[in-house]
Amino acid sequence: MSLITTYRDAFRGLNRETYLLSLVIFINRCGTMAIPFMSIYVTERLHRSLADAGLIITLFGIGAIAGSLFGGYLTGKLGFRMVQIITAAISGLLFIGFGLVNNFWVLCTLCTGASLFAEAFRPANYAAIATYAAEGTITRANALNRLATNIGFGIGSSLGGILASFNYQWLFWGEGASYLLGSALIIVLLPKITPTASASVPDAGTPPKAATGLKTTSSDKQPSIFTDTVFIRFLLLATVYTTCFFLLFRLVPVYWQQDWNMDESTIGILMGLNGIVVACFELVLVRYFEKHKPNVAAYIATGVALTALGYLLLILPGSFPLISGTTCVLLITAGEMLAMPFIGSFVLQRAKEHNIGKYSGAYALSWSIARIAGPAIGSIIVERYSFITLWIVLIATCLACALLFYQFDRKSATRVLTTAS
């Protein structure tokens, strides 16, 4: 009974608008179908080289970085609602076009544009979370958004594999249709909602002062994103951690296959375990820690340290690969559940009404950089040295990052979360 009560308590206090936004991001992330199969499509169906497949993936990454900056800028100019509608619709149309052409260089152009607009959606969505969250629920609203993202990505990846097995055109059309549906849901739902009971929204795309769920100050006292050294230092640490974290999905499976002789089905199950654990426990965990004198610095530092411990298991002999692999995933996932929600909460609380789009864009940019930097740097280390060397580097990096997070402006960080919990 206490477990049921805990789950109910985790969702209690989240308003209707927060759930609607999570529905939108769930639909949007269900469209994440094409990327996992892009290399196979380019090499097997278009009969291009592996280098050409690498070029396509690189262009996706470049588009994502540009989209993070572009989305943050547009959010400050047009408001989060309009940016979400435009970027989701355009990326959907570009992905549909992806399934209609076979010319490689046209595909390169389309994939860059599609990635740019798909990623530009993210800063606007972050701004929407902060704006529509009821007072005192921003951390859990962010955790619910991550929950929807994880479930949507899992469903999208599985559905993408099924569609690709029949016809790759269906894969790209399915992704495009998902984005278009998300755009339509925003048009239908967001104009009719009120972020808080105490304030209405004269312009559904512009964060109203009384409804942001943020602790506000006058804009002339709030430093810009480039002069806010506290935020920049925090974001750099977050980028380092996220870069290390993403290697779980990029290079760890290759290591398991090559060095531990795991088959693809086992690797797939272990990778899926991450999303299942996050979906089942993250929101409850966040709610629990919110109630016990929250300290953002300590929680994030502990999460990053658990990530280091997870990578430590990869150095152990592979006599029991399934046990070691499962424990590795569980430790890194536990670290993710501790660190990620509170990192996002810090970013949203650090921002103010007039610059929330820029702060959200900077945070989204850090994710895009991590997705590219992690595999690139990790692959170089593996090629020149070995996987074991890479794991040692990741362990040392995570431990150093955890220490810096723990020492990072703890008084300020704790105050931020206290206003959000």
pLDDT for 418 equals 45
Q: Is the pLDDT confidence value at 154 over 50? A: yes
**What is the pLDDT at residue 1?**
47
Q: Residue 273: which pLDDT band, with cuts at 50, 70 and 90?
A: confident
pLDDT digits (tens, 9 = 90+) for 208-226: 333 333 333 344 454 567 7
Q: What percent of the chain lies above the pLDDT cut of 70? A: 83
CB of 363 closer than 8 Å to CB of 126:
yes
Q: What is the pLDDT of residue 373?
A: 82
Q: Report pLDDT for 394.
A: 97
| pLDDT of 331 higher than 90 | yes
What's the token pair of residue 172? 């790209």
How far is it, in rounded angstroms, from Cα 33 to Cα 48? 21
pLDDT digits (tens, 9 = 90+) for 125-146: 888 888 888 877 887 888 888 8
Residues sharing a CB contact under 8 Å with residue 60, sequence separation 6 or more, in sequence order:
35, 38, 111, 112, 115
Average pLDDT on 405-413 reads 67
Amino acid symbol at 280: C
Tell me which residue of 58, 59, 167, 160 sits closest to 113, measured CA to CA. Answer: 59
Mean pLDDT, rounded, of the chain? 80
With beta carbons less than 8 A apart as the criterion, state whether 324 and 316 touch: yes
Q: Quick one: pLDDT at residue 92?
A: 92
% of residues, the chain, pLDDT over 90:
22
What is residue 155's predicted lDDT score, i.e. its pLDDT?
77
What is the number of other CB atoms lying within 10 angstroms of the CB of residue 11? 14
The structure tokens 């619709």 sit at: 89
Per residue in 370-394, pLDDT (tens digit) is: 878 887 788 889 888 999 999 999 9
Give all domains of the chain, ordered by start, each with its CATH number: 16-194 (1.20.1250.20), 215-421 (1.20.1250.20)
User: d(Cα 1, Cα 194) in Å, to the nearest integer?
Assistant: 34
| pLDDT for position 191 | 57
pLDDT tens track for 51-92: 777 778 778 878 888 888 888 888 888 888 899 999 999 999
- Rounded Cα–Cα distance for residues 196 and 383 (Å): 54
How far is residue 400's CA from residue 105's CA, in Å, rounded to a whole number? 43
